[in-house]
A and B are shown apart, each in its own frame.
Chain A
Amino acid sequence: MEGSTLKNQQSELQQFRLRLFVASIMALLLAGVLVARFVYLQILRHDHYHTQAEANRISILPIVPNRGLIIDRNGVVLAYNYPAYTLEVTPSKVDKLDETLDELEKIVTITPRDRKRFNKLLEESRNFDSLPVRTRLNEDEAARFAVNRYRFPGVEIKARLFRMYPEDSSASHAIGYIGRINEADLKKLDTEDKAANYRGTDHLGKIGIEQSYENELHGTTGFEEVETDAGGRAVRSLRRQEPVPGNNLVLSIDIKLQKVAEKAFGDRRGALVAIEPSTGEVLAFVSQPGYDPNLFVDGIDQTSWDMLNNSLDKPLNNRALRGQYPPGSTYKPFMALAGLHTNTRSPSYSISDPGYFMLPPSSHHYRDWKAGGHGVVDLQRSLVISCDTYYYGLANDMGAETISKFMDQFSFGKKTGIDVDGELSGINPSPEWKRKRYKQKWYGGDTISIGIGQGYNLATPLQLAHGTAMLANNGVAMRPRLVKAIQEGSTGKIKSLSGEEIRRGNFSMEHLDLVKQAMVAVTKPGGTAAVAGAGATYNFAGKTGTAQVVGIKQNEKYVEANVDERLRDHALFVAFAPAELPRIALAVLVENGGHGGSAAAPIARQVFDYLLLGKIPNTPAPALKEETEDD
């Protein structure tokens, strides 16, 4: 009994120890599984997980460079940056956007205009972008939000640099504006391989100099490598690469002159481009009306946008750069030069003007602006009184191809190469051009209209100014420039850009002088711009022009009063001063202004008076009563 119990106990102990052994082996096997897992994670896949841990830990924060300043030729600041707080919302992080905005409104002023602008941005952007609801918060508002911040996940205050255009609408068409980077911009940056440099940047130049000189103005983005925790908060800085600020631009524009020119227009629409003939520097670049570029910086609100976009005055049209108008009689000095150069006309050759030109066998009358004609007209007089009949004949004698070839050197029909994007090239018509454009044959009548700058002819105010500057500069064409120099943002070194000669005219100085003399006479008593030239203490050369907006049928008389205002003729004037040693050449266009001598020339006179005499006019240039009926 005793023995059997003992034996029983013995076998029981053995069975227990067997079980214990089995369990221990199992445990060891499981420990082996752990070891295998550690080998896999920590030895075999270490590199992979190391990379992931680093990616977790380090984030690279871009440091946006300061955008370059834009200053005028005398150092007046036209675009600068200032720091301010913005209230930004990341829509993807906010559940109920409208309610959140309502709540925010209780803390920070959010006007209906802000809301509209925000909604417009919302449509244009992707959800995970952070969009400004309010910009330029004052200290009070910033503090009030900071206290309530916990209530608004997905809403943040950011300190940002804002672009400011202190001169408002002045020179707006030259300077342009920056705006928020949209999807299309992003794609473009991507294809140009510039996306990396724009990390953290949310604005870029959209138009004008801001756009064309984007590469200079933006600068190089710096970065900071920071260690971040799981919540994305920066814990400490690991490495910092300072940004390189954008370069400053020194414009050719003299903002005071620009303002004189803008003011001279009054509330009339039109354009003026003034160029320093010897350098190509653009002294004034006017397209009226302008707009306030500050509206676009944070995203324009719908109301303002509609107002600008739907206005009949088309303030967003850059008339100086992209407005294409028939040059009208301002084309005649170039025609006269062509006639002399090609020996089609001698200076003394004269015609007897009956008031019309006829091209037999057709009985069609190409009418002169002056019924009954000007009588005996030689080259000088043809310009002074702007005789159409003279130029009908001249064009007919030269032929369209010769004219077109000659006009090419003044950049008619092609871009002048000014340093802003978007320039239109106008039309310098030729039989070949017509064949390509309209698949039509060239008619003799086509040539005749060209002689007086009508017909297929189109030129931008910039082209007219450029061509006039070339005359003023003794036939040497300089590339027109809005930006005169670039100042390196980091070193302050200035690199001059102006003074690039693009070509020399293929005509003699002797012929050019004849044309110039005639143009001076235009501004003297008896000339079409005599009223505008009256009392000038310096000599200036000019040529008036009137461009038809509607065609006038045969046997119909154009009566200004009978024509709808927007269908009236455009008034044009090209000029340079002083005539002997020109410091300025310009082209003025007044849309539907009527006659060049009465509407456009007085504007030029005010600009000249300011530049040459320092006279600041206190009223817009008057639309003068013309003695002669003009051309």
Chain B
Amino acid sequence: MIKQLYDRITEHIDGPLLTFLLIVMGLGLVVLYSASGGGNPDKVFSQARSMLIALIAMWLIANMHPQQMMRLALPIYVFGLVLLICVALFGDVSHGARRWLHVGVTRIQPSELMKLAIPLMLAWFFQRYESNLHWKEFLFGALMLAIPAGLIIKQPDLGTTLLICASGFYVLFLAGLSWKLIIAGALSIAALIPTVWPLLHDYQRRRVLTLLDPATDPLGAGYHIIQSTIALGSGGIIGKGWMNGSQGHLDFLPEPTTDFIFAVFAEEFGFIGNMILLLLYILIIGRCLMITANASTLFARLLAGAITFTFFTYAFVNMGMVSGILPVVGVPLPLLSYGGTSLLTMLVGFGILMSIETHKQLVQS
């Protein structure tokens, strides 16, 4: 009876993937306790609750058949698009950006939804025209990506825009976008930079400029990068030990629990800690790649691949930003940063992968 229940619950769960996820999330709670100052576990409890909710969501999604997801792709995409338009028209402004929409008692950030809606939509689209993929289909796909991306960059939210573009691009790339077009596209983006530059917001430009040389503005925009590289560098090989990071504990790091939690981690656990974390991420990505490679339909493959590489992109962009090789864009460190929304998105993504992995026999038979 209990065995049956256990089997039913774990039927659509991928054991290895869940194990790696739980390890990283557990580590996340440990780091969060230190990053939130230590002594006050409120944030840790709240994050644990978010994790629980996200895990349940993951389980629900994992139990959903990929066919059902395909059916939902278009409605979700359209719904997300409508919400984005609503944000643009009457969204809430917070920290100078219009990202939130009031829905009754709570606020939602529709751009978060688009992170999954776009790969879902594109994967569905390419599956549908599977046998007949030409440049027109790719162009249409690119258009489906460009519209929401354009709306989000207007908010302005550079980080989310880049991530959404990345996730869309991964679908196009895995669907077989021709190398010629990729190279041509890359060249035209390079050519576009001088045109786009004046359109960027001041703070966005400043971020890029200070990345090139943080020392030019040590008290202004360069401050965050300087302080987080100091945190990393002073961590050394073995780190200063949990709860002993001075940069984190003495408020030298901006946003130590969210975007810059990696600096807290790297200061306290050092190079060895970084390698372990990187290894855990690689294990997660590796498992996801196996699922992707063995997926049974084009839709599943494209969707799984896009989610996998988007996850990688999150981790890379965040670590790159904290260690000072990428500009400061608001991208959380997956599974470690404090905050329920991105965690939910992330685990729903993994739920989709688990669903793909555990439903493939049924499709094949």
7 nearest interchain CB pairs?
Answer: A49-B233, A53-B234, A230-B251, A229-B250, A42-B271, A57-B246, A41-B233
Q: B276 → chain A, closest Cβ, in Å?
A: 12
Known: A16-B176, A49-B234. 13 other contacts (CB 8 A): A20-B293, A27-B309, A31-B282, A34-B325, A37-B320, A42-B233, A42-B270, A46-B236, A49-B229, A49-B232, A57-B246, A227-B250, A230-B251
Q: Which residues of A contact B233 (CB under 8 A)?
A: 41-42, 45-46, 48-50, 52-53
Contact code string A22-66 (vs B, CB < 8 Å = 1, else 0): 011001001101110111011101101110111011000000000
Q: B236 → chain A, closest Cβ, in Å?
A: 4
Q: B308 → chain A, closest Cβ, in Å?
A: 9
Counting CB contacts under 8 A, is A12 at the interface?
yes
A49 and B230 within 8 A (CB): yes
Contact of B320 among A19, A34, A39, A53 (CB under 8 A): A34
Q: Which residue of B lies closest to A33 (CB)?
A: B325
Q: Which residues of B contact A229 (CB under 8 A)?
A: 250-252
Q: Which residues of A contact B320 (CB under 8 A)?
A: 33-34, 37
Q: Which residue of A lies closest to B301 (CB)?
A: A16
B323 and A20 within 8 A (CB): no
Q: Which residue of A lies closest to B246 (CB)?
A: A57
Contact code string B169-184 (vs A, CB < 8 Å = 1, else 0): 0100110100000000
Q: Which residues of A contact B301 (CB under 8 A)?
A: 16
Counting CB contacts under 8 A, is A235 at the interface?
yes
Counting CB contacts under 8 A, is B247 at the interface?
yes
Q: Which residue of A lies closest to B247 (CB)?
A: A53
Counting CB contacts under 8 A, is B21 at the interface?
no
Q: Which residue of A lies closest to B267 (CB)?
A: A53
Counting CB contacts under 8 A, is A149 at the interface?
no
Task: Pull 20 A–B residue pairs with CB atoms less than 8 Å apart, ordered by A.
Answer: A16-B176, A16-B301, A17-B293, A19-B173, A20-B293, A27-B285, A31-B278, A34-B325, A37-B320, A38-B266, A38-B275, A38-B323, A39-B271, A42-B274, A45-B233, A49-B234, A50-B234, A52-B234, A56-B227, A230-B251
* A19 to B302 CA separation, bound complex (whole angstroms): 11
B278 and A56 within 8 A (CB): no
Q: B34 → chain A, closest Cβ, in Å?
A: 15
* A426 to B76 CA separation, bound complex (whole angstroms): 103
Q: Which residues of A contact B292 (CB under 8 A)?
A: 20
Q: Which residues of A contact B324 (CB under 8 A)?
A: 37, 41
Given A19-B176, A24-B289, A34-B319, A52 contacting B230 (CB threshold 8 A)? yes
Counting CB contacts under 8 A, is B148 at the interface?
no
Q: A113 → chain B, closest Cβ, in Å?
A: 38
Q: Which residues of B contact A39 (CB under 8 A)?
A: 271
A20 and B275 within 8 A (CB): no
For this complex, into which size category does the number of interface residues on chain A fall?
35 or more
Given A33-B325, A38-B232, A42-B236, A230 contacting B252 (CB threshold 8 A)? yes
Counting CB contacts under 8 A, is A201 at the interface?
no
Counting CB contacts under 8 A, is A83 at the interface?
no
Q: Which residues of B contact A27 (CB under 8 A)?
A: 285, 309, 312, 316
Given A31-B278, A33-B325, A50-B236, A41 contacting B251 (CB threshold 8 A)? no
Given A23-B173, A27-B285, A230-B252, A34 contacting B323 (CB threshold 8 A)? yes
A23 and B247 within 8 A (CB): no
Residues of A within 8 A of B (CB): 8, 12, 15-17, 19-20, 23-24, 27, 30-31, 33-35, 37-39, 41-43, 45-46, 48-50, 52-54, 56-57, 227-231, 235
Q: B135 → chain A, closest Cβ, in Å?
A: 16
Q: Which residues of A contact B131 (CB under 8 A)?
A: 8
Q: A34 → chain B, closest Cβ, in Å?
A: 5
Given A24-B289, A57-B246, A43 contacting B278 (CB threshold 8 A)? no
Contact of A30 among B235, B236, B270, B316 (CB under 8 A): B316
Q: B221 → chain A, closest Cβ, in Å?
A: 16
Contact code string B252-283 (vs A, CB < 8 Å = 1, else 0): 10000000000000100011001100100010
* A24 to B174 CA separation, bound complex (whole angstroms): 11
Q: Which residue of B lies closest to A36 (CB)?
A: B325
Given A41-B229, A56-B250, A23 contacting B234 (CB threshold 8 A)? no
* A492 to B234 CA separation, bound complex (whole angstroms): 47
Q: Which residues of A contact B237 (CB under 8 A)?
A: 42-43, 46
Q: Which residue of B lies closest to A13 (CB)?
A: B301
Counting CB contacts under 8 A, is B25 at the interface?
no
B246 and A56 within 8 A (CB): yes
Within 8 A of A (CB), among B196-233: 227, 229-233
Q: A322 → chain B, closest Cβ, in Å?
A: 51
Counting CB contacts under 8 A, is B334 at the interface?
no
Q: A14 → chain B, closest Cβ, in Å?
A: 11
Counting CB contacts under 8 A, is B329 at the interface?
no
A35 and B266 within 8 A (CB): no
Contact of A53 among B231, B270, B285, B293 (CB under 8 A): B231
Q: Which residues of A contact B271 (CB under 8 A)?
A: 38-39, 42-43
Q: Which residues of B contact A41 (CB under 8 A)?
A: 229, 232-233, 323-324
Q: A30 → chain B, closest Cβ, in Å?
A: 5
